[in-house]
Every structure is written in C-alpha cells, then in structure tokens.
A and B are shown apart, each in its own frame.
Chain A
C-alpha cells in the first residue's frame, strides 16, 4: 500500500480513456494494488472525498469515493472502491462547486445529475449496485469522468460565472 503522486494537468494521461478490467482472477493482483494505492492516496489528502485511477497514472476503470463526515453529505455509502463502474440511470440537475487534486488552483460550478443508479464491482469481484444522490452522486460522477479523460473544465459554461481561482492553498493541495 502506497501513497502515490497525483498527476497534475496537463499530464496527458489525465485526458485518456481508461480501460475496463477483466473479471475473474486474471487482473486480481493489479486491482488490489490499485485499490490500496487509491485508498492510501485519498487518505493522505485532508478533505479529499474521491480519487480515480488515471490520477495516479493507472489507465484502468477504478475509483475510490468516501464522503463520510463531509458537511455536504446527505446520502453516504461509506468507502466505495469501484471497479468498472457504470451509471445505469440518472435524473435531476444540480449545479455545485467542485475542485480536483489534478487541477489544484481552480474550482468551478459544475452541472451534474442530482441522483444516480450505479453498478460496479468490488475489488473482490462482487457485484455492487448503488442508488445515491446529492454530494455522493456528484463525487461519483466526477470520478467517473476521470475514467473517460474528462476534467471539470470540460463541463464549464462560463469562466467568469463558473470558474474561480483558489485564493488560498486548499488543504487538498498538499498531502498530509
């Protein structure tokens, strides 16, 4: 288990599509290693609620999300380690402010679905099916975007209305 370096934009891997992972035992070792690294790295950044494998330079469809204890959290499934996650259904629209470890100097208002149904596998290969909404849904959608090479800047409508420079170094800017 290792805290890994987080790639910063414009690192080219952040704009690539990550590949699906094989089911069964074939890639179990890789999945477990990436899962541990994602967990450890997320925990190293105070206030970090999610991280996706491409941010560590691993172009595989995995992400970790944990919104436990966050002040914006309404629905919470605890720590979610997602392998090959897929949005099965989504509804509603909400705009809220997002930041990203890979674009540490900016934050932006991003429009996303307010409720989602998600399917995925756990690192152990079990099927996972989750309905969630609000902040947790937003975090999942943000991390899933990383798996397709999409950053929050790709979803912004207006630089003057929606994008903000971080005035002070956000806690997420430096690992603990």
Chain B
C-alpha cells in the first residue's frame, strides 16, 4: 500500500451464528481496509471479533461506520466498535512519559509504538477452585513488577458431580466433591534482569492468598 496508512481497531461481539465474519469482512473489503491482525473466538457462546485494520489515508470513515452499524443491527450483534488508531499519539504519549523510543523496553514502560511486537519469554499457569479475584491478584502483581502480559486466556471447567451410583452393580465410590476449576494461562514479557525464578518469587504470596497453583516456565523457543 502506497502513501500513509490509517489504522483502526474493530471489536464486535454477538451471539454465535454463521455469517458474522462474512458480513464484517464484506464491509471491510468494500471500504478497502485490510485485516492486518485478528483474533476471533467463541467465549461462553458469544462470538468475539478483534481486528486491527489498515487502509489508505483517505479511507471513507463515515460510510464505514454506517455500514458496520447496519451489519451489527442485521446480525443482532451486542456491540460493534470501531476506533481510529493514532500511532503518532502513542509515540508522543510514551515520549512524555520519559521513555527512550529506541531502547529496549524497560521495567514499567508502556509499549512505545502501537505496532511494536513484544517478545514474550515466559508462560505462567494458574489454576484452582473458582472464586472472584484470581485474575486481578495475579495481574496486579505482574504489573507492579513491570511484567508485560502479551496473551491471557482463562477457562472455567464445571465442577464434577459425584460418581454415578450403582453403575454396573459395583459399590459406588466415594469421591471428594470438586468445585469448578478455574484455569488461566498467561504469556508474558519480563523486564530486563528478571527471570523465571523472579516471577516465581513475585507470585509466591498470590499462590497462598488465593489458594491457587501456579507454575512458571520459560517459553519454549522454536528450534526450526
């Protein structure tokens, strides 16, 4: 693409059904926007779309917005949100915070360029009986040490019912009742000088306070 580029972030959520991606992609194609990066997934039955779009500097923003609104209404989506991304602003914000735009990312610094790719080096697995506060406890600790979360996923597995009784004539087994299991896997970028042991130490209190199990591993590098 020649000339300067305009970027947008698009987020959409709706009850899962066939045709959501097709409808959104058609609007973007008509407005000559490229989907540069995307993630789409079904979370608890809602289809969630996150896109970073790039188009020409003179992309027609009004028809784009009205078309997306029309598609959202047509498919009964919960939300369609389009935001123009200003890389200039992101850079200036970082500069105002006293960051060196060329140096490696340091403790507590914001990502300097909205397109800068982080280099995650660590995987943190957290799991335990489901209760409020697990995500916050872990994320707050990581943030306080300048650890940058690059990917985070959670999953809730329902509790286990007691073993079925009287199946096959065998004595029913007593099993410990199981509450719902909450699991979270975080991929993150560590500040200079911090290693896997540092993360372990950082999360030690969270482990006991939240009664969760936490394991920290180095992210395996591709060997080929």
The chain A residues found within 8 Å of chain B, CB to CB, are 3-11, 15, 44, 103-106, 111, 150-151, 153-154, 156-160, 163, 165, 173-176
Contacts and interface: CB of A to CB of B under 8 A. Distances in A.
A95 to B, nearest CB: 11
Contacts of A153: 125, 127, 183, 213
26 contacts: A5-B176, A6-B173, A6-B175, A8-B176, A9-B127, A10-B129, A10-B211, A10-B213, A103-B157, A103-B181, A105-B157, A106-B157, A106-B183, A150-B215, A153-B125, A153-B127, A153-B213, A154-B213, A158-B153, A159-B185, A163-B183, A165-B155, A173-B163, A175-B163, A175-B170, A176-B167
Interface string B191-224: 0000000000000000000010101000110000
A105 B41 CA distance: 21
| Most interface-central of A5, A7, A10, A157 (chain B CB within 10 A) | A10
Q: Which 5 pairs from chain A and chain B are nearest by CB?
A: A159-B153, A8-B178, A154-B215, A105-B157, A159-B185
Interface in B43-75: none
B157 A165 contact: yes
A105 B183 contact: no
Interface of B: 41, 123, 125, 127-129, 151, 153-155, 157-158, 160, 163-164, 167-168, 170-171, 173-179, 181, 183-185, 187, 211, 213, 215, 219-220
A147 B164 CA distance: 28
A3 B123 contact: no
A174 B185 contact: no
B185 A11 contact: no
Given A8-B160, A10-B211, A15-B213, A3 B181 contact: no
A10 B128 contact: yes
Contacts of B158: 105, 165
A106 B155 CA distance: 10
Determine chain A's interface SS by DSSP, over half rule: loop
Contact of B160 (A3, A105, A175): A105
A157 B221 CA distance: 12
A105 B181 contact: yes
A10 B179 CA distance: 8
A6 B211 CA distance: 21
B70 to A, nearest CB: 31
A165 to B, nearest CB: 6
Contact of B173 (A5, A10, A150, A156): A5
Contact of A11 (B157, B171, B176): B176
A165 B159 CA distance: 12
A10 to B, nearest CB: 5
